[in-house]
Every structure is written in C-alpha cells, then in structure tokens.
Structure 1
C-alpha cells in the first residue's frame, strides 16, 4: 500500500519522486498495459531498469548535453518509460501528438531540432514516416511499430547496462518542450524548466488527493497534452500509484471499469458520452423516478458509478474546454462530483480548481496558492503570473514577447472575471468574440452551453461571422441519429425557444443546422484533446451559412 511520504520536501523534481518509489516499492506494479483480456505489468523495478538502460544508450550517442529528444506515440506503458529515460539521460523531453500528418511531424521535428525520436503506438506510421528528416535517429517502442530503419528497444535492452547513478538536474534546466495542438495556427513549443514543474507540484499537491492509498490512474487522453501529463504521469510519480492504459477507444469502457481509478480526468466530450450511454439504457424520466425513491436511489447511483468504473474515484477533474453546468449538475445527482480545473499549456494548466466542499457552478473554481491574476480593462482578457509560467516559446522570440510581457504577465487570450468570493469564471476567448453584420459582438462558447441538456446533440459550433445573427451547426448524438427526424427537429426548436429568451436579441440563434459529417481528429475538425477547431469548422461550412440563414425553416438538415 502506497501513501505519500510525509517527509517529502518541497522543491523535489519528478525524478526525485521516481527514485524514491523505485527504491521503496520495487515489486509494486507501476504501469499496466492492456493486451486483449490480459494486462502486461511493469513494476517500479522493471520501469527503472528499462528507463536506465535506455538512458545509457542515449548517453552513448554522443549528443550535445541537454539535447531535444522527441517522442511520438499513443499512450502506453513505454511512453512513460521513454519519457523517464530522456530525463535520466539529462536531455529534454519533446513529446508530439500521435495524430500528426507527415508534414506536421516534419514541421515540429525541424522546429524543435530533435536529434532522436522515439516511435511507438501509432495508427498510420507508414504515412507519417516521410515527415521524419533523414538526420533524425529513430528508436522503436516494443510491440508496436517495427521499422527496419530504426533501432529496436529490446535490442538496446540486451546490449546496454542500466545507469546506476541518480542524476539531479539543475532547477533552471529545461524539463520539457510541450508543443500545443495548434487550434489556431502552427503549434508552438512551450519551454518549461524543472523549476516551473517543481513550483507547480508544490502549489497543487494539497488539492490533488495525493494521500489516497493505492492510487490508480487511467490514461487515455494524449500524454503529450499538459493536463494528462500532469494528472497521470506526474501525479502517479508523486503518489507512487499505478497507471492503467486504454488499449483502444473500442475497449475504453472495459479498460476504465478494470482500472477503477481513484483519480480521473474527463474532458467535456467524455462526460457527454457517459451521459448518453446511461440514458440509452435508462431514459431520463425513468431515472428521475428511481432517484426519488430513497433506498433505490442509493442502489442506482452505486450501480451506475460501478458501471462507469468510477465507484472508487476520489478526484474527478474536467478541463481543456468548458463543461456545461447542466452536465456537471446531472452527474452530481448520481453522486459523481466533477471539479472544473482551468489553465493552459503556458502555465502548466495550473490556474484554478473547483474546491469540492464549496462548489460554485458557472466558474472554474478558486485560484491555486501562488497564482496572480489581473484583467485587461478594455477586453477583459485574463492575465496570470506565477513561478510556473513558461520560459517562452522555443525559437519564437516575437511570439513570446506577444504573450509574455516584461513584467512576467502571461496573456491567456481568455476573457474572464473574478468574483468577490475568489471564484474565477471564463466567459470566452478574445479571438472568438465575433462581430455580426449588425455590428454586435457575440461569444459563441457561451451560447453553445445552452444546448447541453438536449440529448440529441453530440457536437455544436455556433457560427457568427458574416451573418446578421448566430446559427448553430450540430452533429447528432447516437440517440439523435436513431430518433425520428420530426422528433429531433421539434426537440431542437424547443431548445431554441428556451435558450433565446435568455439572450440578448443579437445573440439569439436563428437556425439550427444538422450536419451530416461528425467532427473528428481524423478530419481535422477536432484537436487531439477533443476540442472543436472552430475556425476549421466555420471554413468547411462557410459557403452554406448564408443560404441556410435565409431558409424559412428553423431546423435544417444538411443534404
């Protein structure tokens, strides 16, 4: 049973935590990789031996000190082992999204100057491979890609000995370069020194349930994203817990149920999917009736939490995009308390979190100790300052200067407010506040939350540009796809009739358009962290927006 050491001191790096657990509980399982109906387990000793051996190999390559080393793979046990190996070797970890195209991979590899690239669990490696410059030395993670042009992981393990010392990086050394997902242009490499990670750990640890015995984490969001890397990799190293991985999205439900995590991060789209899964077998009216019966209510809640794999959960966070209040309240009725968290890559995702004992819906919680905020008096843009703010964008001094001012204030691009009780609310993006052809400004994200209670809606993007008033582009949920068209249309009209009276006249949604194609990572209409790419979606449908707006009917089905 692991419990967080009470004598862990402030100022420790993730490597310090790793050294401790590697020594104290070598036989405890750290990483669990699903393989069909079985799991391949890696103990702390196994992870240490492999990571240390790979570090020996990396050091044998004669790279300049503190070289950038890339990692492209879906989440798996060897992702974390490779990341640890890079840190142990004294180099800089530079992870990339596993969904990149060849040209995108080429861009970030060239920009980052990576000399070595770990290649792992990927769907389309042959299509990605042409994007790797010839000068980059590639290493294959075992069990996934086996490229004859690459050095094989298992070959390294048989030919090299594990390093035996425990390197201690300087606090000002670069820990990682995190490339953003590029929702509004080319990805930017966020430089984070060890000092920033140390400060963020010390600030967040009191609120992250680090004292839960036998902590379990479920890894399915991209580990190269700051949120997953924090909650899964970093927190598992801090607590000495166990990480379970998802094998594929087809096995997501079974893998989650097997993991029974104590800590779980769910982006808004995941909570919507969970809700739709429950309502597909237990319609809302029936659920409402059962929840009113005292004894039955408790049994139903427990059964649903167990079915989702969340019965043992102690910390549930949501972030990356706004989660509608209606969804959060719906799950709260089932005994599942979702805590909103807010941050961005440039401040390690550490700005605020909802306190479980003092929830204020419609906000993203209270500020962590050590974070300062202020707002632009004209635009309302939120600015933050802390000891864990990025050093800057790699090789992009002009972009850095435009985002991080001389006084250390990070311009987030988000519009928000801080109330008298200390709760932070995010009301939109500076760049996503659009002007209608009538000259009025509209923030689409705020309107989109009004569709959260309609179970026929899976994805939504409110389009404003070049229109007198907004129209809603909608992708139907599985429930909506199975329903009668007339029923769907009536339901959406009812949603508009409920939503619009609460909006200013110029904000009211004029049409609801049901589009045929879902928005996915594969068609480049959604980021790897499952946020819609608003500009890409608006561009895709731009030729149709005005004709749709001029149609007589309120609900329109794309032909």
Structure 2
C-alpha cells in the first residue's frame, strides 16, 4: 500500500517558485515569442510580475477565495496570472480558449467568477458576446477581446505584493472544468495538495532536470498541460518556451530545442501525415531498413519536426494506436504513453522510463496512486492526486466514488508485468441489434494502423454489425479514390479477420470533412464526440454494407 497523504510532505507551487527565486533568480525561465522576437523572464522577474498582478487583483476589492477565470491560449502571462491568483489567495478557473458562448457563460455563472483574464484567442466571437463588463476583464498584451484593464498598466503601476497568501495543502487552488463530450462540464475542485502531489510525482517519474527545456502549447485549461508542463517545470526548475502561433509552431520548436516533449494522439498522427506527405510510407520504411542511411533519414525527420534534442517523448489525453507508437519508435522517437484525468490531477500512469515491450500500454501507476479493477474491469483509483469533490455537485461526487475509490469510467486489463492497457470507456460500449456489446477503442486502434487514416470512429448501436467512419490524411483527401479504396479494403479485411463475429465491420464510410473542435465533433482535448458523430452520419450509415468501402457522396440516396 502506498503512503497516505498525511505521511507525505509536499511543497506548494508558491513555495517552489520562492525556492527557485532564491536559488536561481537571475536564470531565464519563461520564453515568449512576440512578433518573432523572444521575450524572456528570469525567475526573479516572474515572481515580481506575479506579485504586481496579485496586488492588482486585490486593488479590485476581491477577497481571498474569490474565483478568477483565465480565458486565453498559452503564454508566459498565463503562467504568471495563475501564480498571481494563488498569491492573492484566490481560486483560478481556467477556460478553454476554444469554448463556445454557452460553455463560457455556464462556467462563469457556475463558478461565480469575480474577474477574468483574457488573452490570445483564435476566435474572439464567443468572448466578445459573453464578457459584457459585468466583471473586470484584464487583458494580456496580445490581440484579444475588449477589456477594462491592460496587463502592462498593472505591471508598470502596481507595487509588488509584499505578503503572499500562505496556502495550505488542503486549501482550494483551482476549479478545473472538464471537457466532457456531453452535457455541461463538471467543475473539479483541485486542492494545492493534489496539484503538489502530481507535480512532485511527475518530476520524479519523468526525470525532469533543471536543464530540461519544455514547450507549452497544449491547452493550459487541460489538466495535463497544467500539471505535467507548467507544474513539473516549476517543481524541476527547467526553462519553458511558448509558441507564437500555429503557423510558427515548427520554427518555435527549433528555437526551443526541447528535451522533453508532450503531445496528444491527434497531433502525433498529424505529424506522421506530414512526413508521409513528403515521403510515401513504403519508401520511408524501405530507407529505414538500410543501415546507416536509415539512421540519417530518421535524424532528418526528427530535425524537420524540431524534435532532435528531445530525450523524453510523451503522449496522453486519449488512446493512441500501438502501430503509431511503433512507427515513431523506428524513427528514434520512443513515445511513452500515459493516462490520467482531471479528477486525478493529470498524469497517473505512464510507460516511463520507456520500455519497448510496454508499447500499447499506459504503463504503471505513479508512486502516490493505487489502482484496482472492478468486476466489470473498470479502473478505480485512490491516492494523493485524486480529487475529493465536484464543485456544487454533491450528487455527481457521490456517484463517482465507491468505498473511497474514484470510478474512472475507463475499462482496462492488468498485464502480467504490472502495466495496464485501456480497452475503452464503459459508457462508449454499444449494443448491436444482436444484443452483443462492442468496445470501439481497440477496433479503432487497429484501423488506425493504416497510415492513410487520420481519424476514425466506430459506430453500431442498434445495427446488425458495426461500421467505421474515417477521415483520410489531409494530403490524400483529393487523391484518386481507387488506390485508397483498395488500401482501406485491405485494412478492413485484415481487421475483420481477427474479430469475433459480432464485432466484424459491415464496411467503412469515408467522411468528407475533418472532425474538429470548431465543427463541434471534437472536445477541446481532441477526443471524439461520439454522440454528435453518430447523429452526423446516421443517414449515410444505412447504405454502408457488404464489407465494402464507401465515400460519403456515394451513399446519397435520391
């Protein structure tokens, strides 16, 4: 049994920040590209700016415990605002920069936020509609929605807060709203102790050192980026770089030369497709098999992605196909898959340090977390990083625990070596017309082994047999269909050959459009919105049968 929370001694984020200010105050910490020039904050400057922003919050008449929201893409100011909120004794409420009007309004109302920071946004429409000035709006120094207070005014005019709040491990640090695929998001109450436990454990298991460079580009409203990148870099003391825009992403990576790099399956697949766009898979694999030349090709690809200095690669947020992991491994990119939830303060199991024989698993639990499997195979967890309550939602809280164990909703198997393999979400299993249950994730993972496929969703509730809907890799979407049809037909036959009769696919439907956050078919963390996808394609699926491959326009009926 692992040690209990009472037996462990964790440092809060502000204590870690103070430690680095004392030990390395003049060293560079945050690196923000602005108009292709790099703005750099030392530890001392970060601390001073955070204290000024904290004083600014207090000048608004806000009280300890008040909620303060952050609605912005990643930037150095996001980090600083987060710590300023802590220094002022307030509670942060991060909101995805892609949130729509209804989600934005719900979170502001539900959390009773008393102020909001606004910053970089790809689309200002929702924020402009919702933020009406009823609460103070503090604008980061970027093109953003209308605001009442300029960040730079506080930085230039406020006196640094002398006495920062002394938070205890049982005090509330943040309310993190989940990016669920259905209904209103739930507010996970995250305490300082849970965050500290996660950052401390992650620093150890990732083996992040003070000289390791990381890049913060995944949404900071998501718990993984918040604890694994922001938190772990803070606790380890390593420099962090930000990305100016999607267009400059690779160039910014080349500047940062990260030594630790985390991404999500959707982006790993996009990176892979980008390589295939320049070099077909068959040719690439042929070159990789040639001694010396293969190593040079792999190195050139890593350099092209800006990842040649990385020693630690990670993937989380959603399942990733083992075939994708093996493809990257052949390029000298050993990706460690990990698993975690908002309710478990992020990374909770991981294949770190990397082991090839564990590819396709989520590894083993971090040392402050215990896991058990229910009779239905559900992963249940307890430990220092696990939350205790949903904000203002005692019913959901009660439903989420069993004998002190949090019910994750993920179905898994435990392997002989102690690692775990996720086989899907309990609620995602669907029943066919034959009365048999099908778990979509393992089958989707097999289909994703075809590098021509960028996105895949298995559907079949109420059907005699399941059907797969796929989106082709971007560079192939206007290609000749017949070679692609043959490739997909081969994949379909190969996958069906290994499935039980009730699992076998009736066919594959190739979708016209990419699934995205913007069109409402992906969550902010790039997970599939299965119910919405089924509604989108249900009419087309009626014409998919006989184990064949169809394009969407081929299923249109008169």
Give secondary structure in 2 for the equivalent of 1:83.
Answer: helix
Residues 382-461 of structure 1: pairs in structure 2 closer than 5 A: 382-405=379-402, 407-461=403-457
Cα separation, 1, equivalents of 2:131 and 2:273: 40
* Structure 1 residue 526: Cα displacement: 0.8
* Structure 1 residue 544: Cα displacement: 2.6
**1:218 and 1:245 in contact (8 A); partners too:** yes
* Structure 1 residue 558: Cα displacement: 1.1
Alignment CA distance shift 1:201-1:438 (3 Å): same
Q: 1:330 aligns with which of 310, 323, 327?
A: 327
**2:71 and 2:96 in contact (8 A); partners too:** yes
Structure 2 match to 1:247: 244
Which runs of 5 or more structure 2 residues have no equivalent in the other structure? 1-7, 554-558
Give secondary structure in 2 for the equivalent of 1:265.
Answer: strand
Structure 1 match to 2:5: none
Structure 1 match to 2:156: 158
Q: Write the deviation string for residues 149-180 of structure 1: whole angstroms up to 9, x where unpaired.
A: 51111222232101133542111110111101
* Structure 1 residue 279: Cα displacement: 2.0
Cα separation, 2, equivalents of 1:238 and 1:362: 29
Structure 2 match to 1:182: 180
Cα separation, 2, equivalents of 1:457 and 1:219: 27
Structure 2 match to 1:206: 204
Structure 1 match to 2:288: 291
Q: Write the deviation string for residues 422-481 of structure 1: whole angstroms up to 9, x where unpaired.
A: 111111111000000111100111111112232221111111112111111111112321
**1:456 and 1:479 in contact (8 A); partners too:** no
Give secondary structure in 1 for the equivalent of 2:84.
Answer: helix
Give secondary structure in 2 for the equivalent of 1:34.
Answer: strand
Structure 1 match to 2:135: 136
* Structure 1 residue 343: Cα displacement: 1.1
Residues 121-132 of structure 1: pairs in structure 2 closer than 5 A: 121-132=120-131
Q: 2:544 aligns with which of 537, 549, 553?
A: 549
* Structure 1 residue 126: Cα displacement: 4.1
Residues 32-43 of structure 1: pairs in structure 2 closer than 5 A: 32-43=31-42
Cα separation, 2, equivalents of 1:127 and 1:527: 16
Residues 494-533 of structure 1: pairs in structure 2 closer than 5 A: 494-533=490-529
Q: 1:362 and 2:338 equivalent?
A: no
**2:124 and 2:145 in contact (8 A); partners too:** no
Structure 1 match to 2:3: none
Cα separation, 1, equivalents of 2:331 and 2:198: 32
Cα RMSD for the two superposed structures = 1.8
Structure-2-length-normalised TM-score: 0.94
**2:212 and 2:238 in contact (8 A); partners too:** yes
Cα separation, 2, equivalents of 1:64 and 1:28: 33
Cα separation, 2, equivalents of 1:305 and 1:363: 24
Cα separation, 1, equivalents of 2:127 and 2:464: 43
* Structure 1 residue 528: Cα displacement: 1.6
Structure 2 match to 1:5: none
Q: 1:469 and 2:468 equivalent?
A: no
Structure 2 match to 1:103: 102
Cα separation, 2, equivalents of 1:505 and 1:137: 60
* Structure 1 residue 330: Cα displacement: 0.8
Q: 63-72 or 132-141, which moves further after superposition? A: 132-141
**1:19 and 1:166 in contact (8 A); partners too:** no
**1:104 and 1:131 in contact (8 A); partners too:** no
Cα separation, 2, equivalents of 1:122 and 1:350: 27
**1:102 and 1:130 in contact (8 A); partners too:** yes
Q: 1:263 and 2:257 equivalent?
A: no
**1:392 and 1:404 in contact (8 A); partners too:** no
Cα separation, 1, equivalents of 2:418 and 2:126: 49
Structure 2 match to 1:3: none
Cα separation, 1, equivalents of 2:203 and 2:155: 35
* Structure 1 residue 386: Cα displacement: 0.7
Q: 358-367 or 107-116, which moves further after superposition? A: 358-367
* Structure 1 residue 216: Cα displacement: 1.0
Q: 119-128 or 84-93, which moves further after superposition? A: 119-128
Cα separation, 2, equivalents of 1:126 and 1:347: 33
Q: Write the deviation string for residues 268-289 of structure 1: whole angstroms up to 9, x where unpaired.
A: 1111112112222222232223
Q: 515-524 or 479-488, which moves further after superposition? A: 479-488
Q: 1:540 and 2:536 equivalent?
A: yes
Cα separation, 2, equivalents of 1:433 and 1:269: 21
* Structure 1 residue 146: Cα displacement: 5.8
**1:455 and 1:480 in contact (8 A); partners too:** no
**1:102 and 1:129 in contact (8 A); partners too:** no
* Structure 1 residue 257: Cα displacement: 2.2
**1:436 and 1:468 in contact (8 A); partners too:** yes
Q: 276-285 or 452-461, which moves further after superposition? A: 276-285
* Structure 1 residue 388: Cα displacement: 1.5
